[in-house]
A and B are shown apart, each in its own frame.
Chain A
Amino acid sequence: MTYAYLFKYIIIGDTGVGKSCLLLQFTDKRFQPVHDLTIGVEFGARMVNIDGKQIKLQIWDTAGQESFRSITRSYYRGAAGALLVYDITRRETFNHLTSWLEDARQHSSSNMVIMLIGNKSDLESRRDVKREEGEAFAREHGLIFMETSAKTACNVEEAFINTAKEIYRKIQQGLFDVHNEANGIKIGPQQSIATSAGPGACPRNSRDTGSDSGCC
């Protein structure tokens, strides 16, 4: 049960894009074709391993309905990672991404890692948003991108883990203040020695950038 780091995630996106199903697939490894509408937020957790380190992911799955927006906004600030989900078979959910992203950027800490997810990739025949469009949107806004299927579990694991990897990389670079829990990151119980890894990684990073500038 011990962990090196604890990351807080939120899952956001329009209603019905499969946020709760993604979480269920990730935490319970099962798929529920008919899922109740999420009321407010629901909590889920799982342990993952990155670079040999145990990392605990605490995930808050938010309601996509507009009426819950004010509630779900309260969760942006304290999250280290966000999965922004749209449905590849419904273009309008893709069109709303900009407003979701604005909301997230406005209420979250600037370092929050955002993973753009095109869900329901198993419904290729009903596809309404091309993969390239998702990729382009992600590139334009500096997001990581993946297409997933909560039904077949395709890429679900990867989506959560790659987000964690990105956060971990940012920690190594010293971009996150791991001692401020408001960032959605917590150091594990007996990991106090490893805290020096953050700052320790800092100089190396700066050295890298230094050599870069020297090159130019």
Chain B
Amino acid sequence: MNFLRGVMGGQSAGPQHTEAETIQKLCDRVASSTLLDDRRNAVRALKSLSKKYRLEVGIQAMEHLIHVLQTDRSDSEIIGYALDTLYNIISNDEEEELEENSTRQSEDLGSQFTEIFIKQQENVTLLLSLLEEFDFHVRWPSVKLLTSLLKQLGPQVQQIILVSPMGVSRLMDLLADSREVIRNDGVLLLQALTRSNGAIQKIVAFENAFERLLDIITEEGSSDGGIVVEDCLILLQNLLKNNNSNQNFFKEGSYIQRMKPWFEVGDENSGWSAQKVTNLHLMLQLVRVLVSPTNPPGATSSCQKAMFQCGLLQQLCTILMATGVPADILTETINTVSEVIRGCQVNQDYFASVNAPSNPPRPAIVVLLMSMVNERQPFVLRCAVLYCFQCFLYKNQKGQGEIVSTLLPSTIDATGSSVSAGQLLCGGLFSTDSLSNWCAAVALAHALQENATQKEQLLRVQLATSIGNPPVSLLQQCTNILAQGSKIQTRVGLLILLCTWLSNCPIAVTHFLHNTANVPFLTGQIAENLGEEEQLVQGLCALLLGISIYFNDNSLETYLKEKLKQLIEKRIGKENFIEKLGFISKHELYSRASQKPQPNFPSPEYMIFDHEFTKLVKELEGVITKAIYKSSEEDKKEEEVKKTLEQHDNIVTHYKNMIREQDLQLEELKHQVSTLKCQNEQLQTAVTQQASQIQQQKDQYNLLKVQRGKDSQPQGLPSDGAQVNGIQPEEMSRLREEIEELKSNQERLQSQLAEKDSLIENLTKSVPVPGESEAGAAAGVAEVEGRLSVLLQETRELQNEIKVLSAERTALKEQLDSSNSTIAILQNEKDKLELEITDSKKEQDDLLVLLADQDQKILSLKKKLKDLGHPIEEEDELESGDQDEEDDENEDGGKDQGLSI
């Protein structure tokens, strides 16, 4: 408090000494008196002094007053006085009639006392608890005091209330108070409470504020209601502005639907009071808060849809076309309709279909445009119409096409009985009113925004000038007027139109350059050293020239990119050109226009920039600067890069197409595969069926064969022979071996025999020569004879053996012969059998063919039967019948074979 004294030091000497003393005395009494009556009287006295001696009472009594609030809660009267006194100290409201100087001081006083009061957070909590008191003398001043605190130091007090338990909720209960004064002041309190505090706004909304406030507005008679309606609307705006969560809640709670009846103000209305105008104005603003272009796109579009669905937009359009509506309301209604339709195709389409109730009916758009190019209409109204038109065309290619088409030769109404939008715009473009020129130029620019088709279409527009002269193209006429040097606003408007038209449209650039007067005019404008007021035009000319370079497709020999750049370098100088280009975004009105889509100008001379155009400048300034600084080589390189890129692109697109085709093929093939698989499965089942049938038949055949084999066994046939056949080779080889052995045996014996013969011969030779002794010789002879007889015996034995062996051999030979003959026989038989088998195989094949035929037949028969609608059971019977037949045939075949053998 010391600093307060310091600040107020000069003045504190002013008030009479006695007053300060009195206040001191009263404070002492409040503090020390034990009697409630005494204290109450003292507080009442302080209250009466508090307005006049605000500073003194504030400094000396505040502590005591707060103490009273804490301790004397049982007595509502003293609490009421204390609250009133505090209110007088803190509030600045009562002093408005005082002179300016002291008002400023008192504002300081109020905020300083507030700061002292809320330094103790409990004081605010105390106030909140006093609000629970139902007594009027307590509740009402509490509301007022709290409101005043919030007005003085909003953020701090909001924070304290936010953290005190149920603080906000308790304040919300004020809206339910049956005493209107408290309810209405409660609305004001909530206004101050919710100001720019999202968290509190959400809690208040959660506590059903929308429902309550809408109820109050309805009870009070909507727009016909008094200032309470106004206060409620301001509070609603506080809750919704820039608060997405609350906007969503408002929409989800179907409260938009409840706004519709507000705008049911018919022609029969009894007049427009100032309060009604204010109320309606706020109502329209509330609609705009919900569909503001600055909201998230999804949120805005869902509100726009809801407004169309519940008929709110239709209601607004009715006001738009009604008579007797004050210009202020009409303007705001136009702005509101603008934002309700902006970028929302359904709403834009609806708006295009609205007709004014004139005779003959004219489209609302035409009626509005008439006001835009009418000098006698209020400036704000004309701005609103321009905004409406812009919003109608925003992201609306259909609407853009419709507007441009009213200018094209083929669609112009020859009779001229009704005015079209295009005619009005052209009229505005070339009227003598520069504001109309600007508005019409910008409006037309919006019909071309991001729409290459319409940029090209507009090139076709021809204007009839004076009689006898050939028609002039719209583009030509624009540049002509530009060259004539009219007002800055007109030229700026035309340059905005031309820049928008030429950007991203090489054909328009070519058309523009085709007029040989244009480039010299632009270079002249840029190069000249003109006054400050011409700087903007110079900048825009530089932008237009830059666009003619950047979007130049080099189709004009005289104005190739390169040539234009050389021209700039020679006539203007690169640096100079860039500096002039920079004038646009450095203009003081530029940033203002870039903030919001709505054209919002304090007066006509500020009408220079358009929001969408500032976006275009932002986009192009950099690229044009780059393009100008780039050398021709770099340019060429870039060109090459572009070309290669294009080639790459082509290749890529080629491959993309290929991939697409292949994808298609793949799809087809997949399909085929699946069908084939299906067929395959079917066929496989058929094959297995048939295989099983074949197996059956084979079995049957084998069976038959076996049977037949049994029949033929008595005739001494094949199975035995086959057995002999099988054993024979083994035995033969064994026999052959034996024979071989015997042969070698025989040879060995014969050689032995020959040896013995020669020995005998030798011996007989040696006998006639008895050499040395006859006795020895006789003995020797006897010995030899003995040996000889032995040998002879041996030889005989051997010869016997040979005989036996050769007998054996002949027997074996015989055996061999006989077995060879059996082999021949068996071979014969085998051949026969093989023949038989081939025969039967053939027969079987025939049977299979027959079977297939029959299958086919069965199928066709089935089909026929199905066609005829016969039951399917018969099919089975038929099939089994077929089987029987086949069996019969087989048996027949078997018999035939049997016979043939």
Known interface pairs A1-B254, A41-B202, A181-B211; A74-B248 also in contact (CB < 8 Å): no
Residues on B with C-beta less than 8 A from A8 are: 206
Q: Once the chains bind, are B248 and A40 in contact (CB under 8 Å)?
A: no
> Are B202 and A40 in contact (CB-based, < 8 A)?
yes
> Which listed residue (B165, B199, B211, B245) contacts A43, Cβ 8 A?
B245
Q: Closest CB of chain A to B865's CB: distance in Å?
A: 52
B603 at the interface (CB under 8 A from A): no
One of A1, A75, A107 near B165 (C-beta < 8 A) = A107
A74-B166, A77-B166, A78-B169 known; A43 vs B249 contact (CB < 8 Å): yes
Per-position 1/0 for A75-117, Cβ under 8 A of B: 1011000000000000000000000000000010000000000
What residues on B are CB-neighbors of A136 within 8 Å? none
Q: Give B813-840 interface residues, CB cut-off 8 Å to A.
A: none
User: Contact at A40–B169, with CB atoms within 8 Å?
Assistant: no
Encoded as 1 (CB less than 8 Å from any B CB) or 0, chain A from 17 to 44 comes to: 0000000000000000000000011111
Q: Report the separation of the CA atoms of residues A71 and B165 in the bound assembly, to the nearest whole angstrom.
A: 9
A90 to B169, CA, bound (A): 34
> Counting CB contacts under 8 A, is B273 at the interface?
no
Q: Does B252 contact A (CB under 8 A)?
A: yes
Residues of chain B lying within 8 A (CB to CB) of residue A60:
202, 206
CA of A73 to CA of B207 in the docked complex: distance in angstroms? 13
Chain B residues within 8 Å of A107, by CB: 165-166
B208 / chain A contacts, CB cutoff of 8 Å: 78, 181
In the complex, what residues of A have CB within 8 A of residue B166's CB? 73-74, 77, 107
User: Min CB distance, B162 to chain A, in Å?
Assistant: 6
Which of chain B's residues have a CB closer than 8 A to the CB of A73?
165-166
* Bound CA–CA A40/B203 (angstroms): 10
Residues of B within 8 A of A58 (CB): 249, 252-253
Q: Which of A56, A74, A181, A189 contacts B203 (CB 8 A)?
A: A74
Interface string of A106-146 (1 = CB under 8 A from B): 01000000000000000000000000000000000000000
B346-375: contact bitstring with A at CB < 8 Å (1 yes, 0 no)? 000000000000000000000000000000
Q: Which residues of A contact B237 (CB under 8 A)?
A: none
Could you tell me the distance between the alpha carbons of A98 and B238 in the complex, rounded to whole angstroms?
37
A213 at the interface (CB under 8 A from B): no
Interface assignment of A178: CB less than 8 Å from any CB of chain B: no
**A192 lies within 8 A of chain B by Cβ:** no
Contact of A196 with B by CB under 8 A:
no
- Does any Cβ of B come within 8 Å of A70's Cβ? yes
- Tell yes or no: A45 within 8 A of B by CB: yes
Our pick among A41, A43, A77, A189 for the contact of B169 (Cβ within 8 Å) is: A77
Contact in complex: B211, A74 (CB < 8 Å): no
Contacts of A77 in B (CB 8 A): 166, 169
Task: Give the chain A neighbours of B253 by CB distance below 8 A.
Answer: 45, 58
Point out the residues of chain A lying under 8 angstroms from B252, CB to CB. 43, 45, 56, 58
A-facing mask of B475-497, CB < 8 A → 1, else 0?
00000000000000000000000
Q: Give complex CA distance A71, B164 in Å.
A: 9
Q: Is the interface of A mostly helix, strand, loop or mixed?
A: mixed
User: A75 contacts B203, CB within 8 Å?
Assistant: yes
B274 within 8 A of A: no
Q: Mark B727-771, 1 if CB is under 8 A from A, else 0.
A: 000000000000000000000000000000000000000000000
Q: Are A70 and B249 in contact (CB under 8 A)?
A: no
Question: What are the residues of chain A within 8 A of B248 when measuring CB–CB?
Answer: 43-45
- In the bound assembly, the distance between CA atoms of A58 and B31 in angstroms comes to 52
Q: Which chain B residues border A44 with CB–CB below 8 Å?
A: 248
Could you tell me if A43 and B254 are in contact, using CB atoms closer than 8 angstroms? no
* CB nearest neighbor in B for A63: B199
With the chains together, A45 CA to B251 CA distance in Å? 10
**A40–B199 CB distance below 8 A:** yes
Which chain A residues border B249 with CB–CB below 8 Å?
A: 43, 45, 58
CA–CA, A44 to B252, complex, Å? 8
Nearest CB in chain A: distance from B462 CB, A: 52
Query: Which of A41, A56, A71, A181 touches B162 (beta carbons < 8 Å)?
Result: A71
Chain B 154-175 interface 0/1 with A at a Cβ cutoff of 8 Å (1 = within): 0000000011111111000000
Q: How far is the CA of A56 from the CA of B165 in the complex (A)?
A: 28
Distance (whole angstroms) from the CB of B27 to the closest CB of chain A = 36
User: Among A1, A56, A70, A74, which residue has its beta carbon within 8 angstroms of that of B206?
Assistant: A74
Given A41-B245, A45-B249, check contact A71 B254 (CB 8 Å).
no
Does the CB pair A40–B198 fall under 8 Å? yes
Inter-chain CA distance A189–B202, complex, in Å, is 23
- Near A by CB (< 8 A), chain B positions 502-550 give none
CA distance A43 to B165 in the complex (A): 21
Partner of B246, one of A1, A43, A56: A43
Smallest distance from the beta carbon of A39 to chain B beta carbons, Å?
Answer: 8
Min distance, Cβ A182 to any Cβ of chain B, angstroms: 8
Nearest CB of chain B from residue A100's CB, rounded to whole Å: 16
Chain B nearest CB, measured from A200 CB (Å): 25
Inter-chain CA distance A205–B167, complex, in Å, is 37
List B197-245 residues whose CB lies under 8 Å from chain A: 198-199, 202-203, 206-208, 211, 245
In the complex, what distance in Å separates the CA atom of A125 from the CA atom of B202?
39
Min distance, Cβ B252 to any Cβ of chain A, angstroms: 4
CB-CB nearest in chain B for A8: B206
- Do A75 and B245 touch across chains, with their CB atoms under 8 A apart? no
Interface string of B567-590 (1 = CB under 8 A from A): 000000000000000000000000
Q: Which of B180-206 contact A (CB under 8 A)?
A: 198-199, 202-203, 206
Contact in complex: B199, A78 (CB < 8 Å): no
Residue of B198, B207, B246 touching A78 (CB-CB under 8 A): B207
**Which residues between 47 and 74 of chain A lie within 8 Å of chain B, taking CB atoms?**
56, 58, 60, 70-71, 73-74
Tell me the nearest residue of chain A to B176, going by C-beta: A182
Whole-angstrom distance between the alpha carbons of A126 and B163 in the complex? 37
Closest-by-CB residue of B relative to A41 is: B202
Q: A43, A45, A74, A189: which contacts B168 (Cβ < 8 A)?
A: A74
Q: Smallest CB–CB gap between B138 and chain A, Å?
A: 23
* A58-B253, A78-B208, A181-B211 known; A70-B246 Cβ under 8 A: no
Closest A residue to B207 using CB positions? A78
Q: How far is B162's CA from A64's CA once the two chains are assembled, in angstroms? A: 17
> Within residues 135 to 191 of chain A, which ones have a CB less than 8 A from any CB in chain B?
181, 189
Instruction: Give complex CA distance A73, B166 in Å.
Output: 7
Shortest CB-to-CB span from A132 to chain B, Å, is 36
- Report Cα–Cα, A42/B252, bound state, in Å: 13
A71 cross-chain contacts in B, Cβ below 8 A: 162, 199, 203
B207 cross-chain contacts in A, Cβ below 8 A: 78
Which of the listed residues A8, A43, A44 has the most CB atoms from chain B within 10 Å of its own CB?
Answer: A43
List 7 tightest A-B contacts by C-beta distance, closest first.
A45-B252, A70-B163, A43-B245, A40-B199, A74-B203, A43-B249, A71-B199
- Please list 15 pairs of residues, one from A and one from B, whose beta carbons are closer than 8 Å in the complex, sorted by A's number: A40-B202, A41-B206, A43-B248, A43-B252, A45-B248, A45-B249, A45-B252, A45-B253, A60-B202, A70-B163, A70-B164, A71-B203, A74-B206, A77-B169, A78-B208
Give B residues with C-beta under 8 Å from A.
Answer: 162-169, 198-199, 202-203, 206-208, 211, 245-246, 248-249, 252-254
Known: A60-B202, A71-B199. 11 other contacts (CB 8 A): A40-B198, A40-B199, A42-B245, A43-B248, A43-B249, A45-B249, A70-B162, A73-B165, A73-B166, A78-B208, A107-B165
